[in-house]
Structure 1
Amino acid sequence: MAEHSFHIGTPAAGAAALALLAVLLPASAGAAAGGPASRHPGPGDVTGSGTAAASRFVPGPCPKTPEPIEALATARCGVLEVPENRARPGGRTIRLAVAVIPATSAKPAQDPVVFMSGGPGGETFDDIPFLVDSGLNRDRDLIIMAQRGNLYDEPNLACPELDRFNATSVGLPSYAPRTRELMLDAVKQCRDRLTADGTDLTAYNSTENAADFADLRTALGIKRWNVYGHSYGSDLAMTYLRLHPQGIRAVALDSFTPPQSVSLPFAWAGAQEGLERLYEACAAEPRCKSRYPNLRRTLNEQVRKLEVRPLTLNVRPPQGGDPVKVVLDGGALLNVLVAKAIPFADVPAAIEELGRGRPERFARARAAGSVQVEGQTAHGLTNSVVCSEWVPGHSPSDVLAAGRRAFPGWPDPVLAQAPQLAFQEQVCRVWDVPDRTAMQRVAPVSSVPTLFFNGTFDMKTGASWAQKTARTLPRSTTVQVPGIGHWVVPQSPCAQKVLASFLTRPTAPDTGCVAGLKWEPFTITPK
């Protein structure tokens, strides 16, 4: 499964087609009647009226994905045309890829589910197989829209320069000056290329993203729908609920990322919480406790040791291919764990083996990052959201202080960089988009029924943040699934049942299956 968010990753009928066509008719009918939506501007067109072009849905073929996605064979696809920057009348129009996947039920409910993917910048269509396998389109149509800048959109804010840097960075010390220099050079190359093409990077933010989804509901003629957001998509869903509450029946939030709190210091809190919950689970399992009694101490020692004397190895990536150079230092250890690059069941064994001079599990996990799919992630959207909404308002000393609170005694060079968000202060000086925190860091207040899913081992978005946010959402339910990391629903049949129940009865979901859940037993290796 693709991992998303904080890279914060990643991870997809004749009668049904007629029913789907009826849903989409309002947009095409408006065009046929010559109304406001009848104009067909291209992605670079500029309107001459002095107002932003009207948003409209234009039916068309489904995207050609690298690997066939079965659900797209019966989907109704097209693009949503929206203004790139709603605050700048007369600007260009962009196109966002849309797919409506029909419900498998013979009598589907009238209120569909719209999905908001993680990242920001994660490839949305790649998530469709996981959503379908989780039953999202069992009783309702499932609507997928690639957030602005994503793959299959026009423009696509991919940064192959950053993909190439990420592939080579596994062989570099995590936070060395040379590593920073190479990363910033890749960021600058991408920014220069995108702006030269006329892209307004200030327009790729959660406010515009939310407005796109509001326009999509109207363009498709949908009276009410349900929202399911994962990771950054949960941040976006809360922004959408706050700014465009009309037509929202219920909201489900998976691996919740609170818009009022997400920041570089927040990343340290999530890493600490998820790792502590894993330690506690091992201590509660007699075999794990007996075999690995000193996990916290061993990892702390190895972070300190390897930050002073990193290991350099040649390792074959898990995906196959030739061995690659890998550098294991203190920062790499934590980033591997936060990224869930080692299965949670194997983490105690990996830490214990590392302490005995056997770094292979960590090294292979680090080597996995050398395999990048160039152009798949919209790093342009990532940087515009992170630099306008997450980074401002906190100094480097705030990040370091948060790191010290999370992991006392770790080396400052490790703690000065938020997990999976290295060098962001410098990146954002290069990216140069305005501070939007005043309008974005707002706690949601709503009576719309809301369901929170979080995994107890999630080191990207700690499970406790859902409970804090639920205080301003009086009709909310919080669910914690033991032993699960980022993106809960595709990994948990129980969570899938709870979500289905919530969509049927948003104010009274059946959470009974959660009480009996346990984490997967930890791997016990011979001494």
Structure 2
Amino acid sequence: MPRQLLAPLAGALAVAVTGLFGSGAASAAEPVYAIKPCPADWATGDRVVECGTLTVDETRGDPATRRIDIAVARIKAKTPFIDAMGEPLPPVVVFHGGPGGSLVSGVGRTLGFYAANPEQAGPLAAIDQDWIYFDQRGGGLGNPSMDCPGVQLTDAGPPSAKDEAGLIACLQAYAAQGVNLSQYNAAVIAADVADMRKAMGLERIDLYGGSYGPRIEAAVMTHAPQGVRAVVMDSPWPPEGNWAVGTPEQVSTAVRIILAKCAAQAACGARHPDLQTRFEANAREWLAGPKTGSDGKTWTVEDLAAFLMETTYDARGVRRLPHDLEAIIAGDFSPIAEIAEDREYYTEAQQMTHLCKEELPFESKERLAAGAAGDPVAEVSVPSLSRLFAVCAAIDVGAADPVENAPVRSDIPTLFIAAEIDPGCPPELTRKAAAGYANSQVMIVTNATHGVTRQSPCAARAARDFLRDPTEPVDQTCLPPADEPLVFDEGDAA
């Protein structure tokens, strides 16, 4: 269950630039790419940046369809790399995660960071080749952008019945406004990428995505592979993965891996004796009903589920997990409260159109509950994930195509980079998915969490080398050994 990797935080910048990307173009069958000024406050420095809007049909093949806008930003290569044939590398099309993430609003912030910290501009920072960022249809700075203000949605599902009802009402409201909810999913975005190639005059492209981004990459490779030269998938979510079914067990497995790494170290094990068993007992208490913390505030099992998912996705959260679980067992729920401060980071209606069209039709509440039964840490995630099925039952996104749940078969060179610790996109999924790619390479990074290339310089260099020449094996000798200890953060308890 992918987190919003490559989805920058929304904020004042997103509000300020929304008007730049809504074209209101007249209806036409052909895709149109229009270059527009980038926001004046983007600190481009010595980088050349192009902003624009891709306008396409919402429903292809329908002469009465309306047109929709997709925001695009292109950072030109700082030092174009010339390959062995004497040709510059093709541009990289970047895919954000979620679904329901975004990219374009964060480009200015990223440029500003690189301008202020040039030594930290990593090897993937549009150095060798142009990088094209776009907000997938239905989100970000596009039109429409299907946000649901005030509704919380995490990777563990809606935290409350109120949020479930809010999602249904929000989706129904977009449908009432004329949004065709059946047209916001991976297969249709693949057609958008083909239209982008056509409208921008791109003969060849590379693909780079993280988390749910590889799910969209897989759709491009399935439905519109023409012109795709090479693909990088970071923390990949393959089409055959189950969004809800199996996720509680994956969260529990991530917790077990982390706590086992603690128990294997004398100091950490002594500080947190038998923590796995004690937390399982605590999880049973949460399953029995809400708990009131030392500050008098009451929290539910859904709140604990969101905490476990978010924490085991995050590098800092993983290092702090033993410390935070001790606090929770003792009745200090501040770690849960910290996670609960931001549970509106997705474009919620956009996420649900994906899940209801291409994920949940192939799953069931019964299989979800049965898989988690008997493992209290897994069972914690079942109530909130179950609500997703009720949301999908209340909206019409059209029939699911079985191909969207099938493993991909492709000979396009593809580099898979996965984290050892990942509750949503575990390495087992990566290994199985890669078997269908005739020209694939796989990296599994010890102690890493979701979003590997932003944590591991070794993985980032491998991605760059692969894009320079996808026919050569990437260097994995710089990866940490499988038995390298995980460094834990004890906070103030040291």
Question: TM-score, structure 1 length as denominator?
Answer: 0.79
Q: Deviations over 1:248-276 (max 9, x none)?
A: 11111111111022331042343233223
Match of 1:398 in 2: 367
**Maintained 8 Å contact 2:148/2:349:** yes
Greater shift in the superposed pair: 86-95 or 256-265: 86-95
Match of 2:19 in 1: none
Q: 1:173-322 alignment to 2 at 5 Å? A: 179-180=160-161, 182-313=162-293
**Maintained 8 Å contact 2:362/2:405:** no
Note the C-alpha offset of 1:113.
1.1
Among 151, 155, 173, which residue is 1:165 paired with?
151
**Maintained 8 Å contact 1:119/1:232:** yes
Q: Deviations over 1:64-94 (max 9, x none)?
A: 7xx8464797311111111111142331111
Q: 1:343-492 alignment to 2 at 5 Å? A: 343-366=317-340, 368-369=341-342, 372=344, 377-404=346-373, 408-409=375-376, 414=380, 416-417=382-383, 421-492=385-456
Note the C-alpha offset of 1:459.
1.3
Q: Aligned partners of 1:516, 1:499: CA distance in 2, in Å?
A: 19
Q: Aligned partners of 2:469, 2:421: CA distance in 1, in Å?
A: 28
Note the C-alpha offset of 1:503.
1.1
**Maintained 8 Å contact 2:289/2:301:** no
**Maintained 8 Å contact 1:283/1:293:** yes
Q: 1:108-123 alignment to 2 at 5 Å? A: 109-123=88-102
Q: Deviations over 1:280-301 (max 9, x none)?
A: 3223333222322322212211
**Maintained 8 Å contact 2:234/2:451:** yes
Q: Aligned partners of 2:91, 2:6: CA distance in 1, in Å?
A: 27
Q: Mark the CA change 1:327 to 1:44 in structure 2 (over 3 Å): closer, same or farther.
A: farther
3-state SS, counterpart of residue 100 of structure 2:
coil
Amino acid at match of 1:521: V
2:480 paired with 1:511: no
Q: Mark the CA change 1:478 to 1:71 in structure 2 (over 3 Å): closer, same or farther.
A: farther
Q: Aligned partners of 1:398, 1:268: CA distance in 2, in Å?
A: 11
3-state SS, counterpart of residue 523 of structure 1:
coil
Q: Mark the CA change 1:110 to 1:523 in structure 2 (over 3 Å): closer, same or farther.
A: closer
Q: Mark the CA change 1:334 to 1:190 in structure 2 (over 3 Å): closer, same or farther.
A: closer
Q: Deviations over 1:216-259 (max 9, x none)?
A: 12222222221011111111101111111211111111111110
Match of 1:335 in 2: 306
Amino acid at match of 1:166: Q
Q: Aligned partners of 1:393, 1:54: CA distance in 2, in Å?
A: 34
Q: Mark the CA change 1:206 to 1:248 in structure 2 (over 3 Å): closer, same or farther.
A: same
Among 140, 148, 152, which residue is 1:151 paired with?
140
Q: Aligned partners of 1:158, 1:472: CA distance in 2, in Å?
A: 35
**Maintained 8 Å contact 1:389/1:435:** no
Q: Aligned partners of 2:165, 2:458: CA distance in 1, in Å?
A: 45
Match of 1:50 in 2: none
Q: Aligned partners of 1:314, 1:195: CA distance in 2, in Å?
A: 44
Among 484, 487, 494, which residue is 1:521 paired with?
487
Amino acid at match of 1:384: T
Amino acid at match of 1:150: G
3-state SS, counterpart of residue 223 of structure 1:
coil
Note the C-alpha offset of 1:130.
6.0
Amino acid at match of 2:177: D
Amino acid at match of 1:339: E
3-state SS, counterpart of residue 361 of structure 2:
coil
Amino acid at match of 1:235: R
3-state SS, counterpart of residue 71 of structure 2:
strand
Note the C-alpha offset of 1:211.
0.8
**Maintained 8 Å contact 1:383/1:428:** yes
**Maintained 8 Å contact 2:25/2:55:** no
Amino acid at match of 2:363: H
Q: Aligned partners of 2:79, 2:270: CA distance in 1, in Å?
A: 49
**Maintained 8 Å contact 2:252/2:377:** no
Amino acid at match of 1:335: A
Q: 1:53-64 alignment to 2 at 5 Å? A: 53-62=29-38
Question: TM-score, structure 2 length as denominator?
Answer: 0.84
Q: Aligned partners of 2:158, 2:64: CA distance in 1, in Å?
A: 44
Q: Aligned partners of 1:307, 1:72: CA distance in 2, in Å?
A: 55
Q: Aligned partners of 2:377, 2:135: CA distance in 1, in Å?
A: 39
**Maintained 8 Å contact 1:211/1:240:** yes
Note the C-alpha offset of 1:442.
1.7
Q: Mark the CA change 1:337 to 1:351 in structure 2 (over 3 Å): closer, same or farther.
A: same
Note the C-alpha offset of 1:487.
1.3
Match of 1:26 in 2: none
3-state SS, counterpart of residue 335 of structure 1:
helix
Q: Aligned partners of 1:72, 1:197: CA distance in 2, in Å?
A: 43
Q: Aligned partners of 2:46, 2:393: CA distance in 1, in Å?
A: 40
Note the C-alpha offset of 1:8.
9.0
Q: Aligned partners of 1:90, 1:389: CA distance in 2, in Å?
A: 25
Q: Aligned partners of 2:46, 2:246: CA distance in 1, in Å?
A: 37
3-state SS, counterpart of residue 97 of structure 1:
strand
Note the C-alpha offset of 1:395.
2.2
**Maintained 8 Å contact 2:95/2:216:** yes
Q: Aligned partners of 1:7, 1:425: CA distance in 2, in Å?
A: 21
Q: Mark the CA change 1:225 to 1:410 in structure 2 (over 3 Å): closer, same or farther.
A: closer
Q: Mark the CA change 1:91 to 1:309 in structure 2 (over 3 Å): closer, same or farther.
A: closer
Note the C-alpha offset of 1:212.
0.6
CA root-mean-square deviation: 3.1
Q: Deviations over 1:414-446 (max 9, x none)?
A: 45336xx45011111222212324131121111
Greater shift in the superposed pair: 120-129 or 201-210: 120-129
Q: Aligned partners of 1:130, 1:266: CA distance in 2, in Å?
A: 35
Amino acid at match of 2:370: A
Could you tell me which runs of 5 or more consecutive residues in structure 2 were left unpaired when the two chains were aligned. 10-21, 83-87, 115-120
Q: Mark the CA change 1:45 to 1:195 in structure 2 (over 3 Å): closer, same or farther.
A: farther
